[in-house]
Amino acid sequence: MSVQSAVSDSNAWGEAAMAKAAALGRRDGLLGRPRDFTLAEVEGALTVVETEQQAPIGRPLLASQSRLLLAAVKQCYVAGYHHGGDVRREQQRRRAATPA
């Protein structure tokens, strides 16, 4: 595997992890149930994990990538969570405004 393809694979994985975090955030925002992420050692390598279930979000990371990707995953999750919360509140508002 060339260095270029390794970087490309790493970038693609990072994008997928951030998209997954945003989707989880939207779902949790709709439910009103927040979660958090942290770095944990899984099979001898650092991995971003969901703190409650200790479920890994993707593959092990290089030490230089780990903190940056954790910050990105958290940011995407929070953005998704706020969006899901906005949708939930709008749905509640519409239900309350609908005559019975």
Q: What is the pLDDT of residue 3?
A: 42
Per-residue pLDDT tens over the stretch 70-98: 899 999 999 999 999 999 999 999 999 98
Length of the chain: 100
The number of distinct structural domains making up the chain is 1
Alpha-carbon torsion 57, 76, 64, 2, what sign?
positive
- Quote the tokens at residue 33: 């149930």
What pTM was estimated for this model as a whole? 0.77
- Mean of pLDDT over the chain: 84
